[in-house]
Every structure is written in C-alpha cells, then in structure tokens.
Structure 1
Amino acid sequence: MDKNFLVQEILRLKQEKNAVILAHYYQNEDIQDIADFIGDSLELSKKAQTTTADIIVFAGVHFMAETAKILNPNKKVILPDWEAGCSLADGCGPEDFKAFKNQYPDHVVVTYINCSAEIKAMSDFVCTSSNAKKIIASIPSDQKIIFAPDQNLGNYLQKETKRELVLWKGSCVVHEAFSLDKLLEIYLKNPTAKIAAHPESESHILKIAHYIGSTSGIINFIKTDPTTVFIVATEAGILHELSKAVPEKTLIPAPSTEDNTCACSECAFMKVNTLQKLYWCLKNESPEIQIKEDLRIDALKPIEKMLALS
C-alpha cells in the first residue's frame, strides 16, 4: 500500500476510534513519525496510564503492550504484530523462574520491566534501566535480592549500588551484539567523540563508555553535552528522533559484530512492526492484549511500587 494512503488512513482511524499511538524509540522511522508519543519503557508506561483514549496502539514489543494493559484494564490495547517479542523476556519462562526463585526464599525479587506479566507477578519490585539504582537503594541494605532477567544490567547495578545480587542468566541480543574492536576502530578515527552506552551492554563496552544510561538518559546526555560527535551503543532506532533534536551533532551507531546493512545493532523484534501492520491493527482492533484479572492485579503491584518511587 502507498505510504501516504496508510498515513492518512491511520490518522483517520485514530480520530474515529479515539485511539492513541505509543511508539518505542526502537521502532521504524515511519512509525515514530506518526506516533502521538515516543519514549522508553518508563515514559511509555506512564503515558499509557494517563491517556484518555479508548484504544492504545502499542508500537513496541509484547511485554510493553502487556504493561500498558496491566495499567489500563478498561482500555483496549492492541499490538501491530503479535510476533513482536523480546529475546530477554522470552528467555525467562515462568516455570523456570519460579523454580529459580524457590532456591532463594529469603530474597526479594526485582525484575527489569523487560519481562512477561507472569514474571512481574512473581516480583516484589519492577524497574527500568533509568530507575533501577533508585529501586535497589529503596530496599534495606541487609535484605537479599534476586535481579532478573538481564545479567548485564545486574552486573552493572552490583558495581553501582555495591549490593550483591543473585542474577538470572539472561541477556538482550541487541546489546550483546556490539563489537569492541570495531567500536575502538571508530573511536580512534573520532578521538573527540564520546561513547554513550546502555547498561544492558556487556561490561567490556561499559568500561570504555563516557556515559552509561537508559535510552532517555542517553538522549538527554547527547542533547546537553557540548561534545559534537557521539558513538551510541544502544539500538540504532533512537538516532531518528535524536538527529532531529541535535542536527548540528554527529551521531554514529556503535557497530555490531555482524556484517549487516546498517552496520549497527538493530532489534529484529521491534522492526517486525510496520506502517501497514499498524494500519490493519487499528482497522481490525487486533491483535488485542488480554490478561486474566488475577494475574493483572499481581503484576500491577510491583509496577505501582516502581511508579511511586519514580
């Protein structure tokens, strides 16, 4: 279908159905351009909670749309492609995690928001990469903690908070795909550049970063730092909106170990959503996220604790 037709139809359907489009920074450029709100996990969670729309179109991955539904039980939440999953969330199954948790009965559970509703329901706290340090600091220092599902973020938090965490062995394929050798090669060619990295990245990438933070944190750092060249070690989708905000700055995506078309690290799950799928999703109001009420209530509690602390 013609792009202009799709855009016009999406805007018409959105108004007709009182819908709002929330898009993660890692979405395709066409989707970011048509979204009502673009953000990271925490921003989108908060936006989902405050919207007056009847329908939330969540252009992101499955766990994000689930979080929106947990916060908005009376709104219809739809996802452009049901297959928009997450390697991190998919690598932490409820049965396996329950068995893992049972090994540490005296531990509280802090889970990164990149997990399923079932995992959230087994948690005491949920966090994002932007508020994880604050969440852990709120827990008494003598209280033992399980952190799941991202071990790279967990390792980073152990160093930052000086707390010992029992880590679930999971990781994000996007943030483990960066090549240190290629990154250093780019840095040698751009010696005045600053490297900004997401804490889901491996420790050898974080060691050479000038700034470590969430997607929003990286964006704010690049906007406010006087440096003019940045090498960005997170999913390359954030460069689209960011380049509009700082047209005078040079943004270089950190290179992937794989030789791919963009020479950067992209999330294949995020990129399965397309403008055409968004149109059909809004037209048919499907696929729809549905969560059983008892599971929703259990998953809501740790999210509410996070939002209160944030």
Structure 2
Amino acid sequence: MTVLTGSFDAALTDKIVDGPEGFSGVEGDAAWAAEVRRLLDLRGATLLAHNYQLPAIQDVADHVGDSLALSRIAAEAPEDTIVFAGVHFMAETAKILSPDKTVLIPDQRAGCSLADSITADELRAWKADHPGAVVVSYVNTTAAVKAETDICCTSSNAVEVVASIPADRDVLFCPDQFLGAHVRRMTGRTNLHVWAGECHVHAGINGEELAAQARSHPDAELFVHPECGCATSALYLAGEGAFPSDRVKILSTGGMLDAAKASRATQVLVATEVGMLHQLRRAAPGIDFQAVNDRASCKYMKMITPAALLRCLVEGADEVDVDRDVAAAARRSVTRMIEIGQPGGGE
C-alpha cells in the first residue's frame, strides 16, 4: 500500500466515513471528479467501472463495460495500476489476465452472491460425482472456481461455448441456474447438469411483475438478462402470443447496449440491475428506458461509493492478489473460451 502523502485534498478525504455498509461522506460532484482524475494521473492508473456502478462512478471512469471486456482492457492498458470499480471477482479476473499489474478495488468487501454460490471445494466434489464431464463456469465466479474449470463463458457466449463441446460429453454448468436453464433451452442438451446458484438481484425480478409491466406497456420492447428469474416468463409471453416475440430479447449487458443503439422503439422495459439504465440512456437518449423492477439494485456494487474510490486512490487500497498457480489455471479456462469465439460481452 502506497499512501499519496500530502498530495491529496484533505478537505475531501477528511469527510470519509467507514460504516458497516461501506464508505460514505463524500458526494460524487464536480470537485470530487476532478480530484479523482488528478489522483489517477498521480498513480499512473486507469479506472474501470462496471455497467452496474453508480452513475457518478461510471461518468468519471476511463472505461465502462461488463466485467470480462473491462478485464481485457486492463490487460492491454499501458498503465501499471488498474482500479476496478466493481465486485471482487471482477477485480480478480483483471488480476488473472494482468498478473504483473497492481489491481485495486475501492472496497474489498464488495462481494457477489452469485460468485459465492459455489466454492472450489463444492465444484471438486461435483466433478467427482461426474467423472469425465466438462466444466463450464460463468465468468461470475471466483478465481479458485475458474481454476477448477475447463472453459469459462459469458452470458452472451454461453450457448456457443456449450455447443462447442462434443454432444456425448456431460457438461457441468455453474453457478447460475437461470443462465443454465437458458443454455439448456437453446441447445436442447439433456446431459447439461446445472448448479443451483443465483444472483439475488436478478432472481428477484420475477415473472409476475414482468408480465404485469409488459401488459401495461404493450408497445415497449423487453430487454431481459438471462440471469433473471423472469427470463422463462418472457419467452412464455412471446410463445403464447401475449407479447410480440420480436420485441422480447434475452441479452447480456453488452448485448443490451448493442440492441439499444439499433432499436427503433420509443420505450424499453429492462430486466437487470438498475445501474444498467445509465449506460442505456446514454447509448440511446431518444428511448424511454424503464426498469421492470426499480428495486433491483445490488448492494455490493453500490459499495463502490465516491468516498470508497477516493480512499482507494489516496491509500492505494484495497489491493487484489491471486495465487500464481491459481491464476495460471484460471487463465487457461478464460483463454479456452476466447479461442472458441465471442470473447467480448460479459455478464
């Protein structure tokens, strides 16, 4: 940890308060943004922000996107220090792909309910029950789980990754049960075993409220993340003719941005974490984007506050490290995915 002694704005940093739900006390205003940019320059760092971050964090970042795309940017960036405004597994992935760089996360307590839904020990036991199976793990997993994985996937390429595996091989898909169900539905694969994990935010966006929103906005398009518990309901609405099938789109966060730029709709209902609305509105300002569930906010993502980012840049905290052997094994599973194709678009 390297503290930038005497080179920071004490009037701002003295306001930082550390509480049980994270760092607070600093507003994400113009003065804060200018100080963040100055400190990034002093540290020779680049700031990456996930699509689910607070708008102020997204606006001050050098790059905004999904976790895998940002990790690949980190690997190619000329800076030696990466500040990752996201949850812990994302910063780990950046370290896996950039082992010789310093990777900082503004608050190491920013975890992920989905990544935590399977451990490396649990995956090893599952593999022992299915000898010879191919393990496909979502990028929303810890480095230790990636190290036990044959091929990683993202929400945009999960179907392609599974389809690349010989049909007679069993596949263990983890950890997201809703993404796994989507892959099984799209591939028709009967030997795909799915781990019963979930993102608590996406699982909370249910089919009943999606159906109600769709019926009350009959001219809107639906953008639904495949991690959502309502993805099956969205396809059911389309299949039953209750909603035009060409207006129901199951998309990753990167896919949502591409679809927004191409859409001719005047209104889009979005089923994913609410932070995504900021980037969608920037991408297509003429469209009225509305959350299917406006309470779908990840408390872990929102732990990366303006105060947390400022403290990170002043103190050089919190540094993320991954054991070299674990990182090497995890990197192989990510590289295999990239070799199959569609390496961008993450969760």
Normalising by structure 1, what TM-score?
0.94
1:76 aligns with one of 99, 102, 115: 102
TM-fit CA distance, 1:20: 0.5
- Is residue 240 from structure 1 mapped to residue 271 from structure 2 by the alignment? no
- Report if the CA contact (8 A) 1:195-1:211 is conserved: yes
- Is residue 29 from structure 1 mapped to residue 55 from structure 2 by the alignment? yes
Q: Deviations over 1:69-111 (max 9, x none)?
A: 0010110000011111110111112222211121111101000
CA–CA separation in structure 1 for the residues paired with 2:90 and 2:250: 23
- Is residue 130 from structure 1 mapped to residue 156 from structure 2 by the alignment? yes
When structure 1 is superposed on structure 2, of 3-12 and 244-253 the one drifting more is 3-12
- Is residue 220 from structure 1 mapped to residue 258 from structure 2 by the alignment? yes
- Report if the CA contact (8 A) 2:97-2:331 is conserved: yes
Aligned twin of 1:19:
45
- Report if the CA contact (8 A) 1:174-1:267 is conserved: yes
Q: Give the AA of the match of 2:316.
A: E
Where has structure 1 moved over 4 Å in runs of 4 or more?
A: none
Matches for 1:105-144 after TM superposition, within 5 Å: 105-144=131-170
- Is residue 161 from structure 1 mapped to residue 190 from structure 2 by the alignment? no
CA–CA separation in structure 2 for the residues paired with 1:128 and 1:88: 14
Structure 1 residues 4 and 222: CA distance shift in structure 2, 3 A: closer
CA–CA separation in structure 1 for the residues paired with 2:207 and 2:188: 26
Structure 1 residues 208 and 37: CA distance shift in structure 2, 3 A: farther
- Is residue 208 from structure 1 mapped to residue 237 from structure 2 by the alignment? yes
Q: CA RMSD in A?
A: 1.4
Q: Deviations over 1:206-255 (max 9, x none)?
A: 43360001111112112212111110001111111211221111111012
Aligned twin of 1:54:
80
- Report if the CA contact (8 A) 1:130-1:214 is conserved: yes
Secondary structure in 1 aligned to 2:140? coil
CA–CA separation in structure 2 for the residues paired with 1:227 and 1:8: 37
TM-fit CA distance, 1:184: 2.5
**Unaligned stretches of 5+ in structure 2?**
1-25, 239-247, 342-347
CA–CA separation in structure 1 for the residues paired with 2:64 and 2:338: 19
Identity of aligned residues (%): 40
Q: Give the AA of the match of 1:296.
A: A
Secondary structure in 2 aligned to 1:126? strand
- Report if the CA contact (8 A) 1:195-1:230 is conserved: yes
**Unaligned stretches of 5+ in structure 1?**
256-262
When structure 1 is superposed on structure 2, of 228-237 and 38-47 the one drifting more is 38-47
TM-fit CA distance, 1:6: 2.1
Q: Give the AA of the match of 2:205.
A: F
When structure 1 is superposed on structure 2, of 133-142 and 287-296 the one drifting more is 133-142
Secondary structure in 2 aligned to 1:208? helix
